[in-house]
Amino acid sequence: MTAIVLFASIHYKGTPGMTPNRDDETFWSIDWPHGALTVRAIGGMLAPLQFTLPDGQRISPLYTAPWAEEQGTQALSGLMRGLRGEWPCAPFGPAQTPDGLPAGWASRDGGSPWDHGHSANHAWTLVDRSDGAITLRIELPESDPLAWMERVIRPNPDAPALDIDLTMHPRRDTVLPFALHPTFAVPSSGMQLLPGEYAAVHTYPMQPEPGVSRLTPDRTAASLEALPCADGRTDFSKLPLDFETEEILQLQDCRSAFVLRYPSGIEVVLDWDRAQLPDAVLWVSQRGRRQAPWNGRNQALGIEPCNSCFDLSRVAQPPGRHPLSHRRGLPLTAGRTFSTRYRISARLA
């Protein structure tokens, strides 16, 4: 069968060691029999990622921001300048409390001045690179509750699959709002969201993008297929949507891996340790952010395994009656490392 590339991204071809800098950015790459991957030094961000299926089809499921390859973005933060793919967020969420929190929510100090934390905005160091893995590490400033973070990105030599190990070493006791941040491209041909079983889906406490977001804030529903909005219910189980919006949802108590199914018959699977990260925040970006650099052109789906109340726990505490008020973050102990493993893979449906 002729190979098909479904929404492929730019791929920085790797050579042993470091890929040459591009506009002061550094990338490392690995090719293996079932795919190819590239990692950005800033944020330790993974993308592009290409899988080759047994029937010869290829898919590049991870997102790259439409401005990531444009000139004139140096004024943006490290996170935003080359926004792409997958990375860890420690702490998870914005550094500043957003406007419009409902009554009963209390603001908190966000700690780090960086959205999604220092590690998402600064360069990680290459520890080791081989045909079988890339190991990256970042040392964090004294003000950060974490001393260092390390991640190992390891392709499966026998399958279109990728295992990622993340280790964090706290320098002091803390409760850390935390999430992984896999972000997927939304192809024009469409995709079906199959999250498996979960307890409930919660809408954001206010409009993520005022005047644009469609879902009714601060509501609970049983399914992505029937979410409350101003004109009744709407289905978020298939993307892209036929309207512009920006939404943030939280699936509570996920019980299985999250599957994305494409018309080609390919499924992409995100699996993680749900005992550590019990929920998944969904970021549905459908051309709703009109300010630069978004410019009304961004389409993405974030599937973000987390221990947090949405992306807000670092800057706000909900009232006790809120169904996610108990989601405050990972309890970490000084000197005791925390490790987690997760997998992104592709298969034929």
pTM for the full model?
Answer: 0.93
Is residue 230 over pLDDT 90? no
Between β-strands 238-239 and 178-180, what pairing exists: parallel, antiparallel or unpaired? unpaired
131/154 Cα distance (integer angstroms): 9
- Give the total number of structural domains in the chain: 1
Residue 81 has phi, psi (to 5 degrees) of -60, -45
Burial (CB < 10 A; 0-12, 13-18, 19+), residue 23, is exposed
Tell me how long the chain is: 349
Mean pLDDT lowest for which of 107-116, 134-143, 198-207, 247-256? 107-116
pLDDT above 90 (res 22): no
Distance (Å, rounded) from C-alpha 59 to C-alpha 14? Answer: 19
Retrieve residue 89's tokens: 């967020």
In this structure, what CATH number is given to the domain that contains residue 220?
2.70.98.10
* pLDDT of 321 above 70: yes
- Could you tell me if 216 and 230 are in contact, meaning their C-beta atoms sit under 8 angstroms apart? yes
Write the pLDDT tens digit of every residue in 105-138.
999 998 889 999 999 999 999 999 999 999 999 9
**Nearest alpha carbon to residue 204 among 193, 215, 188, 192:** 215
How confident is the model over 272-295, as a mean pLDDT? 97
For 176, the domain range is 5-348
Task: Specify the pLDDT at position 162.
Answer: 98
End-to-end CA distance of the chain: 16
pLDDT band with cut points at 50, 70 and 90 for residue 8: very low
Q: Who's near 211: CB < 8 A, 6+ residues apart?
A: none
CB neighbourhood size of 193 (10 A):
20
Structure tokens at 151: 């991640």
pLDDT at 20 over 80: no
Q: Report how far residue 176's alpha carbon sits from residue 149's, in angstroms, rounded to the nearest whole number.
A: 13
Closest to 30 in 3D by CA, of 53, 58, 44, 49? 49
Task: List, for residues 45-73, the tens digit of each pLDDT value.
Answer: 999 999 999 999 999 999 999 999 899 89
Tell me the mean pLDDT in the region 286-308.
97
Residue 7 has pLDDT above 60, yes or no: no
Torsion of CA 276, 341, 142, 170, to 10 degrees: 50
Burial of 223 (0-12, 13-18, 19+ CB in 10 A): middle
Two structure tokens written together for 335: 């000197």
The reported pLDDT for the residue numbered 4 is: 37
Work out the average pLDDT over 207-236: 96
Model confidence at 175: pLDDT above 90: yes
The answer to whether residues 82 and 65 touch, using CB atoms and an 8 Å cutoff, is yes
